[in-house]
Structure 1
């Protein structure tokens, strides 16, 4: 098996347990032929030559413009970019350039922890990331996001009414999507606030497949 290179970048808000969460997937990457390097800083985005996949789990925090430009250029050349929940779509809130790459930005989780269903879109049933999965139930944060209409949405979730935000009732929101960025592929799953979310068999399968799909 040809060795590929994966970079795991983690940090930011500790509530998303970036170390423990990424450690769940490092053995999977290694078993699939990746040589994995771990970084605690986005300074690693300054040199991504030869990197096939970036797995990022950095919630909030800030990023230097040069680091965003390094990441942007690498993805455009074909490096894959992937992650889940706030580690990818609630990162670097002040950087519009970063948000363009991910195709979405966290806005709120109005209900806090809540029971909700994720539906795989029937027209995406054969996509390699979700094949064989029709939907699943979780009890966790349900992300309301602003998202790019050019995303390829694989799965959605529907919001119930909230007394402070009555307009969200019935809103269908992307929960899993992909997009291309130049020659690169981007994968996002909004489920994954806590470790047991990522250990849900369907969520874990989707994330693992998403990592492989995004990699060049």
Structure 2
């Protein structure tokens, strides 16, 4: 198997366990012939030579900040063929200060609705809700989702602001409850891909904690998403 290069960029809010979460996928990457480099900040994105030599970026960097040079380097690398993949806040809630980053990814975390107010206890579990990830027609035909049916999770359900340049492979619908201010169900993308220049971007919104990443469906989708996003021979 020809060797490919994967760059893991991790850090930011510790609530998403960026080290433990990314370590979970190291064996998979190595088994599939990737040489893996790990960075603890987005500083590497400004290194044009390093980015040109990278076939896949796996990012787990919730919130945090990114400089202009770094985000421009990232955008240029993806446009030139470097793939980018990630899950949950590590890619869909990164670098809130950068509209250029948000445009690259195509979808941004807005909120995760909580339990009924009287059931909230002030912990992360307040935002754990049972919900269904539902495949779209496109998803049912896509190699990332091959053989996967609609499935249920009990974790944070991301409400995502997005544009129509993303190709949505799965969605999740937020219902209306008596304590909510919205007036009709809201459907958000749960898994999507995006073509950007010669590059590919893959995002899965499930993945708040390591146990969610270990769910058979979630883990399979992310593993396939990383392979799909990796630089193609023509890029």
TM-score interval (norm. to shorter): over 0.9
Structure with the greater alpha carbon radius of gyration: 2
Question: What do you get for the CA RMSD once the two structures are aligned?
Answer: 1.1
Partner of 1:199: 214
1:113 and 2:153 aligned? no
Distance 2:144 2:228 in 1: 7
Deviation of 1:192 (Å): 0.4
Offset from partner CA, 1:117-140 (integer Å, 9 cap, x none): 001113431210001112111010
Query: Judging changes above 3 Å, is the alpha-carbon distance between structure 1 residues 168 and 54 closer, same or farther for their aligned structure 2 residues?
Result: farther
Q: Unaligned 5+ residue runs, structure 1?
A: none
1:10 equivalenced with 2:10 (yes/no)? yes
Q: How far, CA to CA, are the matches of 1:169 and 1:190 in structure 2?
A: 22
Cα distance between partner residues in 2 of 1:188 and 1:168: 28
Alignment partner, residue 142 of structure 1: 157
SS at match of 2:182: helix
1:22 aligns with 22
1:24-72 Cα offsets, whole Å, 9 max, x none, are 1111011001000000011111221210000000000111110000100
Q: Hey, which bits of structure 1, 4+ residues long, moved more than 4 A?
A: none
TM-score, length basis structure 1: 0.97
List runs of 5+ in structure 2 lacking aligned partners.
115-126
Residues 207, 213 of structure 2: 8 Å contact kept: yes
**Counterpart-to-counterpart distance in 1, 2:205 and 2:136:** 16
Aligned to 1:45: 45
